Structure 1
């Protein structure tokens, strides 16, 4: 018989702007979200009115019938709330980056190793149709051996000035909270690098002390390839228009962008079903803008395009029922945190190469 799907979830913490999108994705799947809690009573009430759910005490949700918990608090509180939920025998989906700093992610990884624990981290780009397309194309080996990879990421217009990206307890600003999206894709496709070199800096005249960083350039060192990731808070797009990756092989190149979903392939040799030459791909559905309605519970807008979240919640509820893991694990989120922590350390030492710390220990 197929595994049983989860039938009820609870929302713990609602301050993250993704909270209403994941709530609605759960309901779209036919899963009952029994209520929400947050330490800010004003924001909590606004959230409950927005999504039409119950304002509950934390103990009520953790002691209730919900089989899983969606943790969407401030980063510094994510792991402690996840731990309480796990101790109450709940599965947890923790919004990315999964915690405020490297030690948080190490602790979340340890929690995830406990027998029976179901822990997912909300790196929703993992479920992007463009990423799915890239994986399927690369499986055919149309570009040969890859020597160089480039990723680019950016925050949305003015987002770097928000309190959400400037929490004192977080180990970084926009690079950590938003740049981690594309860094995750790179780690997902390439694996964790051996070392990182980086510059993370403020640019005179571009922003003041209310934000933590303007631009960053990271180099990922692998035994058989080099990867770079550049990031800016000043692309001024709506959200992820410029976020993309390009892989350069000895028999072609592949480039893909997350939203709008798009891909370009140049294959010099071709493969079965792919003749030599250029091939373009676009998502076949109508594009829905990422940014949704203004939020009464967060300073940033709600999410309008729930495609990634719908897929993510489907995997989570299946995992609660015992299906094999297809989502983003705490170990992968820890690898992302290790890369970002190494980047900050390298930048503090004028771009010195910083070996990536072991995930365990």
Structure 2
């Protein structure tokens, strides 16, 4: 972290997202001053301030303050307008994922983030997962050869799909958009943006009522030299992300990794750079905090208990404020995620027809 990071001050703008308390605590843990919090819902704001020990403030007051950066954790539909106001006030901005409620929102956010002098990060905190870092470090040594196929799985925790947070009226989708975006982001991180998407997104009779938007989805990402698949369910028995993982199949082996708990398994048929041919397993220490934390008074979902990814994310944000080279999730990556999800919904509405991302309106 920059030597001047202890002077960094941040403001919370919108706090109804369940990740807001984790990022607040990560900021405090890094030595940043959090000057206050605002939310349009007074009851939500009061509950949040009582939870984390900060003071309520007016939006204009926070934007006019000396805060170096603003953390936006509002409803999805308000994220871009709040980010725009913060940027206009000369602040750096970290916007909670997915960064908005619709493809149009993410296009607007990317436009804002591309302007000279703008510093905008989008809170895809899995970017900082040790398992992803380990997978990247292994793949840099080319142990599995050319990849023709990748497979990924994602899920929301059981019952989460019925929450208001995953069914906001202005959002372009439900759990696939708000939670599935996590693993889609990981796929983009490793594979890049696909050319087109084919998908089915289904409501299954007898599984859930009209209070949630979807039950299961299957997406195929089309690249010029490979395909990748992503399947997603809202009916998962894991606490949060235990079943979420990704496998890359190459002509010289394969690599599988999962985010929580952090784990990976590599098969290298020929071996490379000190790796003998055969299977290699890696697991992070099992002495880790649960992802799910205490019940929240400011969101209908539980707080986050394991702040490992958030701590790393906030450190990068603070370093970037003080001039360090960017390493975080940019608005371009967040836009790519939105393009994929929007293409999936359009493809599903057209019985699985391929949708080219560059042709989306």
TM-score range normalised by the length of the shorter chain: over 0.9
TM-score scaled by length of structure 2: 0.98
SS of the residue corresponding to residue 290 of structure 1 reads coil
Secondary structure (helix, strand or coil) at the match of 1:185 reads helix
* Partner in structure 1 of residue 227 of structure 2: 226
Q: In the TM superposition, what is the alpha-carbon distance from 1:285 to its structure 2 partner?
A: 5.9
Where does residue 13 of structure 1 map in the other structure? 14
Q: 1:115-156 CA deviation, whole Å, 9 max, x = no partner? A: 110000000000000000000000000000000000100001
Contact 2:261-2:286 at 8 Å conserved across structures: no
Instruction: Give me the whole-angstrom Cα distance separating, in 1, the residues matched to 2:302 and 2:358.
Output: 36
2:108 corresponding residue in structure 1: 107
Partner of 1:162: 163
- Separation of aligned partners in 1, 2:252 and 2:58: 58
Q: Secondary structure at the match of 1:155?
A: strand
Gap regions ≥5 residues in structure 1: none
Alignment correspondent of 1:139: 140
Q: Partner residue of 2:56?
A: 55
Number of the residue aligned with 1:274? 275
Asked if 2 retains the 8 angstrom alpha-carbon contact of 1:3 and 1:323, the reply is no
Q: Counterparts of 1:128 and 1:65 in 2: how far apart (Å)?
A: 32
Aligned counterparts, 1:180-219, within 5 A = 180-219=181-220
Q: Shift in Å at residue 236 of structure 1?
A: 2.3
User: What is the deviation of 1:157?
Assistant: 1.3
Q: Which residue of 2 aligns with 1:38?
A: 39
| Alignment partner of 1:296 is 2:297 | yes
Mapped partners of 1:4, 1:105: distance in 2: 32
- Local SS of the residue matching 1:171: coil
CA contact (8 A) 1:102 1:334 kept: yes
Q: For each residue in 1:295-325, what CA deviation from the matched residue of structure 2 results, as whole angstroms up to 9, or x when unmatched?
A: 1111111000000000000000001111111
How big is the shift at 1:358?
6.7
- Where structure 2 has 5 or more consecutive residues not aligned to the other structure, the ranges are none
Counterpart in 1 of 2:263? Answer: 262
Structure-1-length-normalised TM-score = 0.98
| In 2, Cα distance between equivalents of 1:331 and 1:215 | 27
For residues 80-129 of structure 1, give each alpha carbon's deviation from its aligned partner in whole angstroms, at most 9, with x where no partner exists: 00000000000000000000000000000000111110000000000000
Alignment length (residue pairs): 359
2: CA distance, partners of 1:173 / 1:31: 34
